[in-house]
Structure 1
């Protein structure tokens, strides 16, 4: 499996406060990688820095390109896309117009194919295509945020807390879509507080605490680690051990 995204010795600071330090990770082609950890661990900060929203010290390479001097728009053109935690939709625009904004670099033919693909993944969006984004339910807004990112035909989709505030049945549907993206040839870097769901869908996982990775490996192995089970999966260590 070839490496799509490579982050080496990343440091990200807010003023004098170092929020991410000495972080390295990789995401391969057709791979789902998750980063789990508590609130404030630095997960969102790391995704923002990879996207170019925040300055990063270290090296980030994507699709063979060093991202150091590339603006956000150029990173998107390479095939890197981020769905932020707060979705950042245009509430006064309808679903279809929000989606079309995600395809601003695409030809008419590619845009049409994008709509077809997104509506296949999210039939609810097709039903709501003329509805204002601000009137959608939380789950529908998450679908729209993901759909808008997919309109740009990304090679790697970074998702920041896609299950936040959603009902369990909606969360299950979102994670089914995440698994399907891999089948469609899209890699995923997933930041998620619902560690159990994330570890079930991911190939590999990194555990982040206080700005650093303290553990990484196959998701199936991370899920059975006693400390991870006690801290993030809601199991007591004795239960995990048994």
Structure 2
């Protein structure tokens, strides 16, 4: 598979504190890649740096372009989108207006087809389209945040903790939708503390500890790894070595 996103020897710092060190990562077309790890491991920092919210030292390429030279808006224009951990919706605006903001670069005709795609993925948003974002349930807000990012027709969607604070039945819906995105030609880079759910839908996985990747491989391999099972999945495998 050809690489859509390529990161090599990435470093991200807050002042003198290095939060991400020597990280290399690839995401291919039509692939779901997950990064799992504890709070404070550097997962969110890495996503923000890829998006351009934070400066990154190292090499980062997307569709052949050097992202380190591009502003956030230009990265979005290339087909890169981020759904942040806290969703960052405009609470006093309607669902429809929040979605429209995600298509700020598109034509009116393109926006119409984008609305149709999002409403097909999230029928509940169509039902709530005139409702204020701040009155939605937590699950609906997450759907809206994802829908807004998809309005720009991204080739790679980065999701930061999409299951955070949601009931298990809603989490199952969100992860089912993520799987559907791959079928629709959207690659996904998923940061998620619910490691078990993330590994079930991912093709490949990286385990991050203290700003570094300590393990990587197919999602099935990572799920079977004794150290991952003990640290992140809540059970032990017999007869395998730890991280």
The alignment covers a number of residue pairs equal to: 241
The gaps in structure 2 that reach 5 residues or longer are: none
- 1:239 to partner: Cα distance: 9.2
- 1:68 to partner: Cα distance: 1.2
TM-score (norm 2): 0.98
Output one character per residue of 1:147-169: Cα deviation in whole Å (capped at 9) or x when no partner: 00000000000000000000000
Structure 1 runs of 4+ aligned residues shifted over 2 Å read 236-241
SS at match of 1:68: helix
* Counterparts of 2:48 and 2:239, CA distance in 1: 36
Aligned to 1:177: 177
* Counterparts of 2:106 and 2:117, CA distance in 1: 14
* 1:64-83 pair list within 5 angstroms: 64-83=64-83
Given that residues 229 and 240 in structure 1 are in contact (C-alpha distance below 8 angstroms), is that contact kept between their aligned partners in structure 2?
no
- RMSD over aligned CA atoms reads 1.1
Aligned to 1:224: 224
* Counterparts of 1:24 and 1:30, CA distance in 2: 19
TM-score (norm 1): 0.98
* Counterparts of 2:14 and 2:28, CA distance in 1: 29
SS at match of 1:87: coil
Aligned to 1:24: 24
* Counterparts of 1:193 and 1:208, CA distance in 2: 11
Aligned to 2:144: 144
Say if 2:144 is the partner of 1:159. no
Given that residues 225 and 237 in structure 2 are in contact (C-alpha distance below 8 angstroms), is that contact kept between their aligned partners in structure 1?
no
- 1:69 to partner: Cα distance: 1.2
The gaps in structure 1 that reach 5 residues or longer are: none
- 1:236 to partner: Cα distance: 2.8
Given that residues 224 and 237 in structure 2 are in contact (C-alpha distance below 8 angstroms), is that contact kept between their aligned partners in structure 1?
no
- 1:44 to partner: Cα distance: 0.1
* Counterparts of 1:240 and 1:62, CA distance in 2: 36
Say if 2:234 is the partner of 1:234. yes
